[in-house]
Structure 1
Amino acid sequence: MHFLKSNKIKLLLCSLIGVNLLANSSFDEEILSDSRKKTFTLDEKQAKEDSAKLKKDWINPITLQYKKNLGDDYKGETSLISINQPIFQSGGIYQAIKYANSTYKYSNLQIQQQRKLLIKDALNLLFQIKKLDLNIQKTKLTLANAKIDVTRKKEQVLNGFLDSSFLDNALLTLNSSKHTLVDLKYQKQELINSFNNIAAGDYKQFKLPNFELISKKEFLEKNIELDKAKASIEKNKNYSYMTMARYLPSVNVFYNYSKTHYTDGKPKAGQTNEQTYGLSISMPLDSRAFNDIESKRIEYLKSKLNLKNKIDDEKSFFKTKIDKLNMLNERLKITKEDLALYNSILKIIKEEKEAQIKTQSDYDTLKNSRDIKFLDEKIYKIDKQIILLDMYAKIF
């Protein structure tokens, strides 16, 4: 099966199975509503602007000041321009730029992860709706069998072959199946409402994707969570060096220009101009410096440990999903064996029905039971796709 259009799902699957093709991320977003897609676009723009701002944080603002004296003794105007700009901060300027770049990389990965998770939610809802459709079909078959059983038990009770308690139990089973069908229909509508909240259109216009399994190596190499952890290491490393540089010598260039114009009240003084410029060297002596530097260094070390923990977590996640897939494969194997058995028995029942040894209700009951097993097989396959979807949401 294909998701949306065939060329789009091919790109989706390429990202899953590790084929080296250039996938357009907009294809992934086709299932999302315009407002959801616009939110991610704005998040990306904001991350870019925040990074640009961080790159300029080491540049001090130019101070412009204007004063007008309205006193009785001296009336005049003063204009002031002041610049105090660092040109060397013991590597702090270079680290500040690197920190801005690493922060942008981390933010971008976060946005990509959020986008992936929302697409996963939409696809998961599609799978769950399809699964409920199959369960509704199963319940309808169970309901049909329950009606046949009630009819059969009713005849047997009226003819004195069975106690009325058997009929009562059959009626309870029939009633339970009816309530189950009502509940399933309500659950389906709930899922449809949730899907409409994030999707670009009606769920019926989308078809289910077909995911394939990737290797453990590919899963770890393309894992967004691990890339985020690596980006966090780089970000904290740059911030640690940047913090250290704050407490090291800094060379600044400064320039001050002042112009004052007196209108009256001060003899022999109509206007004054003053300017100073030069270099200054400073080094803060802060009692908290060591604590600040050490705290940032510890944060950096924690992020390195976090990567090791994340690798273990993702390995465990992968193994858990593989184990669950294996369990479903075993269930599929059993279901296929059951289907083969049902088909062989159904063939015999059909022959006996034609020979008037068995009734039509006997044949219908067994056929419904066979069809339930067939639907079970489809449900297990959807469960496998949901597991693979969980894995897809974690990789590029």
Structure 2
Amino acid sequence: MKYPVLLILFLLSDVCRADEPYTLLSPEKQEMLRLEREAYEAEHEKLRTNWIAPLNLSGTYDYDRSAQGEFFSTTETVSGSIAQDVFRSGGITYQIAYADAKKERESLSRQKEIALLNRQLFISILEYRKALFEKEQTALKLKNKEIEVAIKRHLFDAGKADITELNNALMEKSAELKSLAAIEYSIAEQRYEIAKISDVAADSFELPRFELIDRKAYLDEELDLRYTRANTQTQRYAYEVTASDYLPSIALNAALGYRRYDPKERTGDYDGHYYNTGISLTLPLSYNASSTVQEARALYLKEAASVADKRRSLEGSYAQAVEKIKSFEETIALIRRNLSLYDDLIGAIRSGVEAGTKTGYDLQTLQNSRSIEEFDIRIYEIDIQIELAKLHFALNPSKELP
């Protein structure tokens, strides 16, 4: 195959930078993607540190009056306390690992979303350009049908053709007119699809040229597969965190404060700081512990098994795409061979026209047919680019290799 491996050449404007894979998208979508990133980064920080216990601050004022006399006292206290886990049977380490794995998964989810939007944009532009070629091609087909109708009408008027032949020619012309109308709608539709996600001008945007992605790189780095791997890691650490919740944990308890005690008419007042420390050991005993841990483990193993299944599916998808591209290339090669035959025929017909043995209709029909074949080449080349774009954006969120 003529497409080199692991090379993607792009002719894009300087405004498109590799570190901003969504710069071609609409401002609204760019803002949504920016906020999405902020959200999962904030969640990452929260999950990574949520094992740290809060510091509890309190202040109290007590007034106590004795029921056996006129004695009374006041107590003012300001304190801070904390009960911090220092050991969770590995739970703290797994919690941090879970937060990192979940961030990686959410980052890949966002990359998949950007890749899908960029894929939609580039394929819509390619489909738009393809429809423009199809419109020009159909206009040539229509000209040939008009020539055929003129010839059939002339023969019918001369009594050399029946009405059925003329009717068939008229029906074929009508079919081309309907095709032209359908293509006009397709052009408008693709223009609207582009406008939904981007402000780029479909007519003037300089399209990149996609090349074939290497099979190994595709099977190793495809975004869906990377997401599945990341989700497997996330589920693994979620399982480990769940399991550690039902294992022994040790917490350090500490309190530090200031207290002022005034017994008024009695002795024994106190004005100063105080503190206390301690360690607690906890062993949770839950009836549902085993089933809860088993559920988390099953989710992890199911996701782990899906990695191999996903890779198998990708092998088939890649092979299908390569075969489809090969088919387009073979068709283009066949058309190019036909063009040389058209050139010979056109030369012979032109000589006949000059000699008066052939009509101008014959020459015009052949010239139009040759141009129709040339448009087929352009259309198939775009079909190849569409397939290559699908492979590219399955691997990369942007239009450039990372």
Kindly provide the CA deviation profile for residues 215-269 of structure 1, in whole angstroms up to 9, marking residues without a partner as x: 21121232222222221222222222111111111111123468888999x9999
Q: Does 1:363 align with 2:363?
A: yes
Alpha-carbon distance in 2 for matches of 1:352, 1:251: 102
Q: Report the alpha carbon displacement of residue 65 of structure 1 after superposing the two structures with TM.
A: 4.6
Alpha-carbon distance in 2 for matches of 1:69, 1:171: 104
Counterpart in the other structure of 1:87: 86
What amino acid maps onto 1:346 in structure 2? I
Q: Does 1:198 align with 2:191?
A: no
Counterpart in the other structure of 1:392: 392
Q: Report the alpha carbon displacement of residue 311 of structure 1 after superposing the two structures with TM.
A: 0.9
Residues 82-161 of structure 1 correspond to what in structure 2 (within 5 A)? 82-161=81-160
Kindly provide the CA deviation profile for residues 69-101 of structure 1, in whole angstroms up to 9, marking residues without a partner as x: 899999998766442111111111111111111
CA contact (8 A) 1:196 1:203 kept: no
Alpha-carbon distance in 2 for matches of 1:128, 1:186: 12
Which residue of 18, 23, 48 maps to 1:24? 18
Alpha-carbon distance in 1 for matches of 2:278, 2:345: 100
Moved more, 331-340 or 116-125: 331-340
Alpha-carbon distance in 2 for matches of 1:293, 1:2: 50
Kindly provide the CA deviation profile for residues 135-183 of structure 1, in whole angstroms up to 9, marking residues without a partner as x: 1111101111111111111111111111122222222222222222122
Unaligned runs of 5+ in 2: 1-7, 67-71, 397-402
Q: Name the % identity.
A: 26
What amino acid maps onto 1:305 in structure 2? A
Q: Report the alpha carbon displacement of residue 29 of structure 1 after superposing the two structures with TM.
A: 2.9
Q: Does 1:296 align with 2:290?
A: no
In structure 2, the CA distance between the partners of 1:99 and 1:164, relative to structure 1 (3 Å rule), is same
CA contact (8 A) 2:29 2:197 kept: yes
In structure 2, the CA distance between the partners of 1:67 and 1:139, relative to structure 1 (3 Å rule), is farther
Alpha-carbon distance in 2 for matches of 1:350, 1:174: 26
* Secondary structure in structure 2 of the residue aligned to 1:25: coil
Q: Report the alpha carbon displacement of residue 7 of structure 1 after superposing the two structures with TM.
A: 6.9
Unaligned runs of 5+ in 1: 10-22
Which residue of 8, 30, 52 maps to 2:45? 52
Higher helix residue share? 1
In structure 2, the CA distance between the partners of 1:171 and 1:300, relative to structure 1 (3 Å rule), is same
Counterpart in the other structure of 1:5: 12
In structure 2, the CA distance between the partners of 1:174 and 1:69, relative to structure 1 (3 Å rule), is farther
Alpha-carbon RMSD across the aligned residues, in angstroms, is 3.0
Q: Report the alpha carbon displacement of residue 113 of structure 1 after superposing the two structures with TM.
A: 1.4
Residues 1-396 of structure 1 correspond to what in structure 2 (within 5 A)? 5=12, 24-26=18-20, 28-65=21-58, 81-256=80-255, 276-396=276-396
What amino acid maps onto 2:215 in structure 1? K
Alpha-carbon distance in 2 for matches of 1:223, 1:237: 21
Kindly provide the CA deviation profile for residues 351-384 of structure 1, in whole angstroms up to 9, marking residues without a partner as x: 1111111111111111111111111111111111
Alpha-carbon distance in 2 for matches of 1:67, 1:187: 75
CA contact (8 A) 2:12 2:208 kept: no
In structure 2, the CA distance between the partners of 1:100 and 1:354, relative to structure 1 (3 Å rule), is same
Alpha-carbon distance in 2 for matches of 1:92, 1:98: 10
